[in-house]
Chain A
Amino acid sequence: MRKKIGSALVVGAGISGIRSALDLAELGYQVKLIDRAPNLGGTLSQLDYQFPTDHCGMCKMLPLVERDSSSQYCLRKGLFHENIEIMLSTELVGMEGEPGKYQVTLRQNLSMVDPERCIGCGECSAVCPVEVPDEFNAGLSKRKAVYLPVPHNIPNHYVVDMEACTMCGECEKICPTGAIDFRWEARRQFRILVVDDELIVRDSLRDWLTEDGFAVDTAESGPDALEKMTKKAYHLMLLDIKMPEMDGVEVLKRSKELRPELPVVMMTAYATVETAVEAMKIGALEYLMKPFDPETLVPLVVKLYENLERADERELEVGAVILAAGFGSYDPAEGSNTYGYREYPNVVTSIEFERLISGTGPTDGKLLRPSDGKEIGKVAWLQCVGSRDIQADADYCSSICCMFSIKEALLAKERTDGQVDAAIYYMDMRTFGKNFQRYREKAEKEYNVRFQRSRVHSVEPEGANGNLRISYTDVDGTGREEIVDLVVLAAGQRPPTGSESLAEMTGVELNPWGFCQLQPFSLSLTEQEGVLASGSFSGLRDISESVIQASSASLRASSLIHAKGGGLAEAAEPQAVFRDVTRELPETMVALCSCGDNLTEAAKLEEVEEAVVDLDSVSQVQRIERICTQEGWDQLEEALRDSKANRLLIGACMPYVYARKLRELGKKIGLSSALMEVVDISTPALPGRNSNPEQVGRDVWAAVAMGVGKLKGMDPSNLPSTSVIQKALVVGGGIGGMSSALAIAEHGFEVFLVEKAEELGGNLRVLHRTLEGDSPQELLERTVARVEKHPNIQVYTKSQVLHSRGRVGRFRSTIEKEDGMGESLEHGVTVLATGGKEASTESYGYGQSEGIVTQHQLEEKLHSGAVNPGELGVVTMIQCVDSREEPRNYCSRVCCSSALKNGLYLKEQNPELDVYILYRDIMAYGFLETYYTKARQAGVIFIQYEVSDKPRVEVDNGRIAVGVTDPILGREVLIESDLLVLSTGIVPNNQEKIAGIFEVETDQDGFFQEAEYKWRPVDFMKEGIFTCGIAHSPRSVTETIAMSEAAAQRALRILNSERVMAGSTVAEVRHSLCSLCEKCIAACPYGARWRDEDEEKILVDELACQGCGSCAAVCPNSASVLRGYLDQQMFSVIDAALEEIF
């Protein structure tokens, strides 16, 4: 693949980190992706299902073009991309330098288990005597000290949890491949000097540490220690502070002169803690608190040892750093109201419930109570635990819990055939995203999930059988109680551990709650240039928004590297030239790994080899002792170079590991890696699986013969590539379109920006303030100026697209310009940012009085002075006008913020003014919650109404009377208002027309339909066309900008080079066999096929085709085929598999 000058570091390998890393890798940058956990995937590795599909779908993030450069299997199981180096158990420990040129220091904790050798057999875990709570199951089950971090990784290596490990050495003895190495020898050579004036301390420390394998000397005083230090080299000194003659601090000072490199750890009693802290300032590494006990002290010393000796520190230079550090979780047990968490086993958090219902969880996915394994009949979800709670220092909303809980309730219902009783106790049900409201109604109406508006105040045990009693107050004030089997606490989000030191190191700022502070109007720019935030580190978002934000971050990183001179200029790497083998007969070299002596002992390998040589396309068989080692690999390379073979089949363990290695090998010797395969021959020979050598031999032979059969029929011709017109068309000149255009233009590509209005700006023109207090007009001015000045952007105002044809990489669109003339534009990608508008309404007396206005109109009137807050007495606002009920059954997301913004402004201008906001659920998600608090504090009065009992408006002689039922007091209140403001929400511009022109879909509300809500939020199903902003769904200015950057990012991945390759597995049509029945067109889920009327042919768009094979399956004539999976290949594979039987 293309290599670009420039590299980036992504900290955190959760969803956002993976998305950012893949984005940059797809653009050709070299990416380091690190995570401190021993596994990829972050929180998502624990979650099996995501709404609205209630499936996973993570794999949809994998590259869609140039697919061969990355893994193409389940992303939860693992990832590789040739431009990404993944470093797990790794932390960022230092960062220096300047934007575009940062020196970062990474520290990787080396595992005791060699991942190259571990085959995941689990023998080690079986003998390990230590049991600790399993993080993967959120502590609901136990694991050993040597364990698999997640059960689903491929390949899956064991790791040793050094904090829990007792170093008993049992696993080391039993490991069949010698992968575990405690390196006792290294430990014995690690000399520790213990300095203390008390004999008992010296002796016990020496005994404990010697027992754990260290070499220990003791010194009874400062001078004694200094003398010993001159005679022998030590690796660590444990130094007491309070000693007669010479105190510890003095010894430390002198030792720093004598042996500056010697790490010193102070030992202190409570009284001298301050001295110890002082000592750290003059060079002590750490301090340990007395009194000691071996249980805690020894692991601490071991940890120090690990950090000093075993950790691998690496320094490297990167252009930009993306922080995708994720989030932590609130611990309900630490709150002022614990809801019985940790006290009663049947009180769990959302993540624990997620594990309870997971097939890989502690109960194998059966809904059983943790306390006694009884089937669960009734579950209560309690919202806002540790969120929206000032007493828990959380004046913010965690944004995701409402949907999270609805999803869990639905899963519980589905799992039990609707038998379980599920109730959600909430204050505001925040269904602010696309399709969230309908999802909630589905839960409520179709699945009978109960939604109870109330905050539960206590959870208490009901009897001794594990049942729980929850008590709450109904809206009307009636106290109620319910007995449930399980209580699920929607525990709120917290900043990730270590966020403070990360912020200090990288220079980013944190907000009052410890999340990363972003710049105004951006979801990725931090205070530090070149350091970007991605995902929940800057606060609380769901997958879809994390993915958008991650792409925004990678776009910004790429822009920066580009601006600093790295850029997209391709590095001079010679394009690998592959030998043309199309005219050669298939000749396969088979290399079998004997895995030391394991395979030769388990099977008669000679016999297998003889049988393999007899296969007609096999030219030679090579046995290699350990192909996983460098020596083994060199041996293979040499053998292949010397042979004339044009196919390579490797028999070894863990075929997935070899994808990257094969590509490198292919480049070196000039043979396409599409002609190489790896088959698993080690599983049949696993210890304890089969003791009959003949059967093992037969199994190995079958695996090899199947591989040979597949390779034999492999089409050796070159893979198709597609030429790309490196220009973009952006439709819509609002803030979304302009941001997208700028982002693409900044990377050096030409952009056509088409806007139907007279000037650029769209809806931004009517916004004068944001809730956060930033100025949209400044943003508008700045952006328009940049767009108009940019040499790569050609702006067409008062113009519209009439027609568009073509496919990804090669579009031709016709626009009608201001003067009525047409112009034809050629472009490789399209961004549709056609925006939306404030809905008009006929409800609540709109139009009957000048005093009834919409939120936009109010903002405009306040700005122009037509409305003077000083002259008003009472202003009433009604939320959700015509929204969140059919036919417009969605939340417009911005209206609550608008109401809060205008309400606060009115109160600020005239504190005597009464403001009433009549709402259904206040959608103050994320940090907007604090403005909700502020609005209440400013005296705005909020009255909740139900959709079945809407406010009533009467207009009489210009006087506006609003009647509404106050649910708390249960009575009607009448508000005589000077001004009634209606929050009518957002509707799309007439998008059906534009969707028709570009052959993309719209959803039932008329917004653009994305390819996949969560994982591909800015893509259309039709490759090469992207969407952003409120044309997709209602969102704020900042969110629109982030989304337009994400769209630009997705576009750049195609514009990036002149020719783009698909993958090696693509569909083809044999036109001579094709009867033009078009079944394949209907079957293709990617819209990659069409019928060319001129040529009377079915054509395939190689870039859009993802090689799923649906077309090949439906084709009645075998005219549609899949490269790499031709019929004759599959038949020979089946023959080989069945040959033993016949």
Chain B
Amino acid sequence: MSEENLTLAEVHEVADPMRVIQEKLRACMQCGTCTGSCANSFAMDYTPRQLWRMVQLGLTDELFNSKTFSLCSSCYYCTLRCPRGLPLTETIHALKQLAVAKGIAEKKGARFYQTFLDTVRRYGRVREMELMARYFMIMKSPMLPLSFTPLGMRLMIKGKVSPEMPKFFGPGKMDAIFRKVKELEASS
């Protein structure tokens, strides 16, 4: 057996919020209907079924390093079809929150979400141009904007988006709400 083998008794020691998620998923019998139903599973490094298995077995670190849950588009198809009636989409949301709380989310997979929420905080809605501009800057990849150029041009011609300078500083319109949410999360 190689060194990658896991001693389950060791990794089973998990933090409490994880425990709650584990309990939610206990009845899962690994039938794989969720994975089959998932529109995005082709792009995931772990399929949803594998993700639940990792939760069951308590493989936390590996779990949060995966980009699976950031690829969930919340279509609820898996929840609809799960023969065990498990709240799978909610579990993904809970895992995302946990990832943010643990700071694991500072990785690339989560940056789009952060940028997205930041524009919401500022304007109370999404400004597409600004979102994209900020996202490209955060990703620090010069090739990335180029790959989106043709799409952007077409959208601009059709008047779907308009050029706008992003604002990087200053108070946002939804600051109060975001502050409150943060307080609630911290106290819970």
Q: Is B truly associated with A? A: yes
Chain B proximity of A423: nearest CB distance (Å): 15
Q: Is the Cβ of B9 less than 8 Å from the Cβ of A873? A: yes
Interface 0/1 of A441-485, CB less than 8 Å to B = 000000000000011111000000000000111010101000000
Residue from B80, B83, B85 with most neighbouring chain A CB atoms (10 Å)? B83
Interface 0/1 of A947-987, CB less than 8 Å to B = 00000000000000001001011011111100000000000
Q: Which residues of B contact A972 (CB under 8 A)?
A: 1-2, 5
Interface stretch of the complex, out of A382-390, A584-592, A817-825, A1123-1131: A382-390
Q: Is the Cβ of B30 less than 8 Å from the Cβ of A944? A: yes
With an 8 A cutoff between CB atoms, is B122 at the interface? no
With an 8 A cutoff between CB atoms, is B36 at the interface? yes
- List which A619-637 residues lie within 8 A (CB) of chain B: none
Chain A proximity of B80: nearest CB distance (Å): 6
With an 8 A cutoff between CB atoms, is B174 at the interface? no
With an 8 A cutoff between CB atoms, is A173 at the interface? no
A937 CA to B30 CA, complexed, in Å: 13
Q: Is the Cβ of B9 less than 8 Å from the Cβ of A458? A: no
A973 CA to B1 CA, complexed, in Å: 9
Interface 0/1 of A175-219, CB less than 8 Å to B = 000000000000000000000000000000000000000000000
Q: Is the Cβ of B32 less than 8 Å from the Cβ of A473? A: yes
Q: How large is the interface on B (under 10, 10 to 19, 20 to 34, 35 or more residues)?
A: 35 or more
With an 8 A cutoff between CB atoms, is A989 at the interface? no
A874 CA to B152 CA, complexed, in Å: 57
Residue from A389, A914, A932, A971 with most neighbouring chain B CB atoms (10 Å)? A389
With an 8 A cutoff between CB atoms, is A296 at the interface? no
Query: Which residue of B7, B26, B82, B83 contacts A939 across the interface (Cβ within 8 Å)?
Result: B26
With an 8 A cutoff between CB atoms, is B153 at the interface? no
A427 CA to B46 CA, complexed, in Å: 21
With an 8 A cutoff between CB atoms, is A933 at the interface? yes
Query: Which residue of B4, B22, B36, B46 contacts A473 across the interface (Cβ within 8 Å)?
Result: B36
Q: Is the Cβ of A389 less than 8 Å from the Cβ of B83? A: yes
- List which B55-96 residues lie within 8 A (CB) of chain A: 56-57, 80-85
Q: Which residues of A contact B23 (CB under 8 A)?
A: 939
Q: Is the Cβ of A969 less than 8 Å from the Cβ of B5? A: no
With an 8 A cutoff between CB atoms, is B35 at the interface? yes
Chain B proximity of A457: nearest CB distance (Å): 4
Query: Which residue of A477, A937, A973 contacts B50 across the interface (Cβ within 8 Å)?
Result: A477
Q: Which residues of B contact A932 (CB under 8 A)?
A: 29
Q: Which residues of B contact A471 (CB under 8 A)?
A: 36
Q: Is the Cβ of B8 less than 8 Å from the Cβ of A914? A: yes
Q: Which residues of B contact A458 (CB under 8 A)?
A: 36-37
In this complex, what residue of B is CB-closest to A962? Answer: B8
A973 CA to B58 CA, complexed, in Å: 12
With an 8 A cutoff between CB atoms, is A69 at the interface? no
In this complex, what residue of B is CB-closest to A934? Answer: B27
Q: Is the Cβ of A384 less than 8 Å from the Cβ of B83? A: yes
Q: Is the Cβ of A390 less than 8 Å from the Cβ of B49? A: no
A376 CA to B53 CA, complexed, in Å: 38
Q: Which residues of A contact B2 (CB under 8 A)?
A: 972
With an 8 A cutoff between CB atoms, is A337 at the interface? yes
Q: Is the Cβ of A477 less than 8 Å from the Cβ of B29? A: no
Q: Is the Cβ of A914 less than 8 Å from the Cβ of B27? A: no
A429 CA to B116 CA, complexed, in Å: 47
With an 8 A cutoff between CB atoms, is B41 at the interface? yes
- List which A894-926 residues lie within 8 A (CB) of chain B: 914, 916
Q: Is the Cβ of A974 less than 8 Å from the Cβ of B8? A: yes
A472 CA to B49 CA, complexed, in Å: 12
- List which B28-42 residues lie within 8 A (CB) of chain A: 28-33, 35-37, 41-42
Q: Which residues of A contact B81 (CB under 8 A)?
A: 336-337, 391, 457
Given A936-B29, A968-B53: A477 touches B4 (CB 8 Å cut-off): no
With an 8 A cutoff between CB atoms, is A938 at the interface? yes
Q: Is the Cβ of B50 less than 8 Å from the Cβ of A969? A: yes
Q: Which residues of A contact B7 (CB under 8 A)?
A: 974, 976
Q: Is the Cβ of B85 less than 8 Å from the Cβ of A390? A: yes
With an 8 A cutoff between CB atoms, is A657 at the interface? no
Chain B proximity of A950: nearest CB distance (Å): 15
Q: Which residues of B contact A944 (CB under 8 A)?
A: 30
A972 CA to B5 CA, complexed, in Å: 6
Q: Is the Cβ of B31 less than 8 Å from the Cβ of A941? A: no
Q: How large is the interface on A (under 10, 10 to 19, 20 to 34, 35 or more residues)?
A: 35 or more
Q: Which residues of A contact B125 (CB under 8 A)?
A: none
Query: Which residue of A391, A473, A941, A969 contacts B83 across the interface (Cβ within 8 Å)?
Result: A391
Given A388-B83, A933-B27, A969-B54: A914 touches B9 (CB 8 Å cut-off): yes
A969 CA to B68 CA, complexed, in Å: 14
Given A969-B54, A974-B5: A937 touches B26 (CB 8 Å cut-off): yes
Chain B proximity of A939: nearest CB distance (Å): 6
Chain B proximity of A550: nearest CB distance (Å): 32
Q: Which residues of A contact B154 (CB under 8 A)?
A: none
Chain B proximity of A693: nearest CB distance (Å): 69
A971 CA to B54 CA, complexed, in Å: 12
In this complex, what residue of B is CB-closest to A936? Answer: B27
Given A337-B81, A933-B27, A939-B26: A477 touches B49 (CB 8 Å cut-off): yes
Given A914-B12, A973-B8: A455 touches B1 (CB 8 Å cut-off): no
With an 8 A cutoff between CB atoms, is B6 at the interface? yes
With an 8 A cutoff between CB atoms, is B119 at the interface? no
Q: Which residues of A contact B47 (CB under 8 A)?
A: 473, 477
Chain B proximity of A513: nearest CB distance (Å): 15
Q: Which residues of B contact A390 (CB under 8 A)?
A: 83-85
Query: Which residue of B1, B4, B82, B84 contacts A933 across the interface (Cβ within 8 Å)?
Result: B84
A697 CA to B41 CA, complexed, in Å: 79
Chain A proximity of B21: nearest CB distance (Å): 13
Query: Which residue of B4, B32, B46, B54 contacts A472 across the interface (Cβ within 8 Å)?
Result: B32
A971 CA to B4 CA, complexed, in Å: 9
Q: Which residues of B contact A914 (CB under 8 A)?
A: 8-9, 12
Q: Is the Cβ of A454 less than 8 Å from the Cβ of B32? A: yes
Query: Which residue of B9, B26, B35, B54 contacts A976 across the interface (Cβ within 8 Å)?
Result: B9
Q: Is the Cβ of B31 less than 8 Å from the Cβ of A455? A: yes
With an 8 A cutoff between CB atoms, is A1090 at the interface? no
- List which B136-185 residues lie within 8 A (CB) of chain A: none
Q: Is the Cβ of B83 less than 8 Å from the Cβ of A874? A: no
A337 CA to B30 CA, complexed, in Å: 18
A1140 CA to B50 CA, complexed, in Å: 81
Q: Is the Cβ of A479 less than 8 Å from the Cβ of B85? A: no
In this complex, what residue of A is CB-closest to B12? Answer: A914
A475 CA to B5 CA, complexed, in Å: 20
Q: Which residues of B contact A337 (CB under 8 A)?
A: 80-81
Chain A proximity of B54: nearest CB distance (Å): 7
In this complex, what residue of A is CB-closest to B23? Answer: A939
Q: Which residues of A contact B46 (CB under 8 A)?
A: 477
Chain B proximity of A425: nearest CB distance (Å): 10
Chain B proximity of A110: nearest CB distance (Å): 46
A473 CA to B38 CA, complexed, in Å: 10
Q: Is the Cβ of B84 less than 8 Å from the Cβ of A455? A: no
Given A454-B32, A479-B41, A973-B57: A937 touches B27 (CB 8 Å cut-off): yes
- List which B117-140 residues lie within 8 A (CB) of chain A: none
Q: What would be 29 A-B contacts, judged by CB atoms less than 8 Å apart? A: A336-B80, A337-B80, A390-B84, A390-B85, A391-B82, A391-B83, A454-B32, A455-B32, A455-B83, A457-B32, A458-B36, A473-B41, A473-B49, A475-B32, A477-B49, A914-B8, A914-B12, A932-B29, A937-B27, A939-B22, A939-B26, A941-B56, A942-B30, A963-B5, A968-B50, A969-B50, A969-B57, A974-B5, A976-B8
Ordered nearest first, which 6 A-B pairs have the shortest CB separation?
Answer: A457-B36, A389-B83, A455-B31, A477-B47, A390-B85, A473-B32
Knowing that A473-B49, A973-B5, A973-B6 are A-B contacts, what are 18 other residue pairs whose CB atoms are under 8 Å apart, sorted by A's residue number?
A336-B81, A384-B83, A427-B29, A455-B32, A457-B37, A458-B36, A473-B35, A477-B46, A479-B36, A932-B29, A941-B56, A963-B1, A968-B50, A969-B57, A972-B1, A972-B5, A974-B5, A976-B9
Q: Which residues of A contact B (CB under 8 A)?
A: 336-337, 384, 388-392, 427, 454-458, 471-473, 475, 477, 479, 873-874, 914, 916, 932-933, 936-939, 941-942, 944, 963, 966, 968-969, 971-976
